[in-house]
Chain A
């Protein structure tokens, strides 16, 4: 299982990968994660690779090799669309964050990303994860809402994923995150 997580620096993509790693451990499977720290975190695109299986070699996913892309921002989903397998799934947080070239007018933020993606990828799901996280109690739980939805889309073991979330967040935010997870899980209809 190859999960590519993309977003904008500071969106909490790292926690999402940790939870998936925890899920792999709970299932007794091999797992590798890959992320890039440093320069790219200053509001730039961030990409995290998660691979789970019986024996994993490469920590990075290749173009055409992702089973699912978990995108925290729409433009970032479009940017990595070519990483998906032909039957891959795409889960996008329905949010647009302008990159600096679009803010200054040097480039234009693409219109109708949602339609483009839906036309290109059959299994595309957009969810308003940020709003749902707010409903659960805090915007910070956006990543966990996304994980709830991912759990449904990939038919992951619900109880184990929930446990992975609990194990990955500080105890005082457990209730909030479990709530966020369930909201995300129930937000997608297959």
Chain B
């Protein structure tokens, strides 16, 4: 019996069947469901780490200690985790260690479109790339074999279309892996120059061995349909598009994106008329083939940006049937802050006070879109704090800016920026939007929520105590729904010379689904002030604004901003 399974769940299942005992991850679309699904399986340990780097370190520790382990993250998480990864390639692993990284071509929910395949090459870590759910499960198991055979961490790379698609998957039994023996070996596990110099020799030898070995792996395979006709090299989701768009083409399916099976592809190239590489994002495969003297085309047909599709590929090779119908020009429907979102009132206040806002990554990034249009900068997790400090230093303390960060993001990497601001005396104001969850990625627990990945009670990191321990003296705790209190705190904090932290508390409106009393409107003067909140429950009607009672969460923020008292408390 086959199950229709999300690829991320299939990866979790693959890890389970491979005997993985320890998984550590930080949420990030489109990778989040791997940890969530793995945690539901029996007899395994799974956790949310406070950030992507810690997840890799935990998994590496578990592998060196002798247990098969996994770490999962989105592509930008790998930037954070790159430090342990590059040196883990030197130490090797003992038991198998697989790092799942999820790229997001088309940026469905990311701040950049980076191509993680380059990490595999520069870190000297092999990378497998499955095309669908069934393959993902199989590749995970293979990745553990490879990891142990070559004593190296192994990447499993997926893209959004693979991660978030479902396919039919056959379940198999778990094979228990008893804890391997850990033997102290400083020359292998203590990476200081003298040891690392010797390990680098091992790394290079391993690279060479892997480069040979991948040519023999069945997951790198040529599929001939019409010899001496068109030949396509591809992998991952693109393989599926190619099979659909060009059923008559010869296809070389790459399973190991690093090292690329160059000899096998060279052989393939001799059996086809013209060789094309079809890949999303950068010309990673194409450049490698060209560097090895294999003539091919790729990026001259397909650009560097966005996703490919069956249609795009078919059109480029001139085989698409049917005329193209142009899409209708219709108003966009961008994501918005939910009705009752506790972040809304804070941005309203920051707008009112005309402050520059160094934003961060989370639901509150939506404070950048109209009508709030409050956020000035958003770069990466934790950047709000460092950038606010930079603004202060550049303007010799004159800039009227604040940093705004979510609770999960603060623990991820905002706290180091705060320590810097205290230490280097910039007097920034940091607003922590504490909604007791990791909202953006779908409500995961974190160290300040009091619950672990499984939802069981866990020790709580208290944000206020943490800030105090970092040396913050000017600390304000406010209810995020209390607009007056937020305004007062922001005024005081920005007036203060020292580092100030405001913790705006209120749980995410989606966490509590019970129906709340809703606000009502009487004698609306049509002044438009409440419309500046960008609340999806408020809309313009024939006689002033109207409240959608199905959407209203009764947060009463609009009640407080209405200058005429026309909106009545829930």
Contacts and interface: CB of A to CB of B under 8 A. Distances in A.
A175 interface: no
Interface in A33-65: 33-45, 57-60, 62-65
Given A38-B442, A65-B310, A78 B336 contact: no
A105 B539 CA distance: 10
Interface in B114-138: 132
Contact of A103 (B164, B311, B538): B538
B289 to A, nearest CB: 24
Contacts of A99: 331-334
B518 interface: no
Contacts of B112: none
B334 A107 contact: no
A12 B324 CA distance: 30
A57 B334 contact: no
Contacts of B369: 100
Interface residues of B, number: 56
Interface centre among B334, B534, B539 (most CB of A within 10 A): B334
B165 A39 contact: no
A81 B335 contact: no
Interface stretch (A19-27, A142-150, A151-159, A181-189): A19-27
A13 B4 CA distance: 17
A5 B401 CA distance: 43
A36 B335 CA distance: 13
Interface in A129-173: none
A104 interface: yes
Nearest to B242: A57
Interface in A67-100: 75-76, 78-82, 84-86, 98-100
What's the dominant secondary structure at chain A's contact region?
mixed
Interface string B332-345: 11111110000000
Contacts of A25: 2, 4, 168
A3 interface: no
Interface in A101-133: 101-110
Contact of B536 (A18, A35, A100): A100
B398 interface: no
Contacts of A37: 29-30, 32-33, 109, 164, 442
Contacts of A39: 29, 108-109, 335, 440
B534 A58 contact: no
Contacts of B29: 37-39
Contacts of A33: 4, 165-166
Contacts of B338: 42-43
B244 interface: yes
B327 A104 contact: no
Given A33-B165, A35-B164, A65 B538 contact: no
B240 interface: yes
Given A37-B29, A58-B240, A64-B324, A109 B331 contact: yes
A59 B328 contact: no
Contacts of B168: 25, 30-31
Given A39-B108, A63-B311, A58 B244 contact: yes
A8 interface: yes
B69 interface: no
A57 B240 contact: yes
7 contacts: A34-B164, A35-B165, A59-B167, A63-B324, A64-B320, A78-B328, A82-B325
Interface of B: 2, 4, 29-30, 32-33, 108-109, 132, 160-162, 164-168, 237, 240-241, 243-244, 309-311, 314, 320, 322, 324-328, 330-338, 363, 366, 369-371, 440-442, 531, 534, 536, 538-540
Given A31-B168, A34-B164, A79-B333, 5 more contacts: A25-B4, A34-B165, A40-B108, A58-B243, A104-B370
